[in-house]
Amino acid sequence: MKKLIRFAMVWLAFFIMGSPMQCQAQEAAGYTFIRGPMGTQVCLGRYVPPTADAVTGVCDGQVLDLAQFNSISNKLSADRLDQATQILEAIDYRLAVSNDKVE
C-alpha cells in the first residue's frame, strides 16, 4: 500500500512539474493553437516560440480559450453569410427589374 501511495505521489509530482514544459504550438489558418496544461488556447497575435531561457513560448497579443475562439468565429461566419445573402438578394432584385424592362 505504501508503494502505491509513493508511486502516486511521484507520478503526481512528475505530472505537475512536467506539464508546463509540454506546451506545444501548432499554426493553422494564420492562428497559433497552443496545447498545454490549461487546454487548447489560440494566440491571436504573434507567437514567439520557446528559447533556451524560457520553457514555454509567449504570445504577443490576445490569447483566447478554444471555446471562445469558436464562438467568435461562428459569429463572424454568420455575419459574413448575412452579408452574402444581402448581396445576392440585391442582385436578384436588379435582375428582376431588368427582366421586367426587357419584357
Cell for 84? 452574402
Q: Quick check: helix, strand or coil at residue 61?
A: coil
Cell for 10? 511521484
Lowest-pLDDT choice from 25-29, 84-88, 91-95 = 25-29
The pLDDT, as a whole number, for residue 91 is: 96
Would you say the pTM of this structure is higher than 0.85?
no
Residue 33 CA to residue 35 CA, distance in Å, equals 6
What is the b/e burial string over 33-51, where b = at least 16 CB atoms within 10 angstroms of the residue's CB?
A: bbebeeeebbbbeebeeee
pLDDT in tens, 32-79: 888 877 788 888 888 888 777 666 778 888 888 888 989 999 999 999
The pLDDT, as a whole number, for residue 32 is: 85
The domain in which residue 73 lies consists of: 2-102
> Is there a contact between 56 and 36 (Cβ–Cβ < 8 Å)?
yes
Mean pLDDT, all residues of the chain: 78
Secondary structure letter of residue 38 according to DSSP? T
Structural domain count, the chain: 1
